[in-house]
Amino acid sequence: MDEILGQVLRNAVWERLDMLAELANETDSPALLSAARSELPRLTEGWRVMLSAHEPDERGDCPTCSTRWHRCKAPCSVWQVAHDHLVAGGLAHFQDSRRTRRLRRASAGMPPAPRSAPSVPDTGRRATAQPSGKHALVGGAGR
């Protein structure tokens, strides 16, 4: 049941992000200014809450990304992605080495990129096989 609820939550977030991206691409939309005024404060607050959970502890480790057996030194991948997209304008990931992108994909639980495919920037969005629609529940309700 938790798996289904988790998938529903993830789908809702992806759909909201898709809707906002589509709205941002419609530069002539009269709703754009209204959406910016209502959504930007919510998005910035969401980033702040997430980043505060990844603030380094007194040892310089990320308490959220670290486990009992593996310590994750700050800045963790969450802070790196935040910097890439909020400060560097989303362009910093173009400068990453192939190894760095591969490590980020692995830490995000994403499969390795196919070797024959051209190198593309990692958007951080997890690609999953979905039977119908881009945000369909995986595996059905019988789990």
Give the model confidence (pLDDT) of 86-141 as tens digits: 888 755 555 554 555 666 666 666 666 554 444 444 444 444 434 444 555 444 44
**Domain boundaries, given as residue ranges, for the chain:** 1-53, 55-112
Amino acid at 73: K
CB 79, CB 86: distance < 8 Å: no
Higher pLDDT, 104 or 60: 60
Cα torsion 25, 31, 32, 37 to 10°: value is: -150
- More reliable by pLDDT, 12 or 94: 12
Lowest mean pLDDT among 24-28, 74-78, 106-110: 106-110
pLDDT of residue 60: 94
The answer to pTM > 0.95 is no
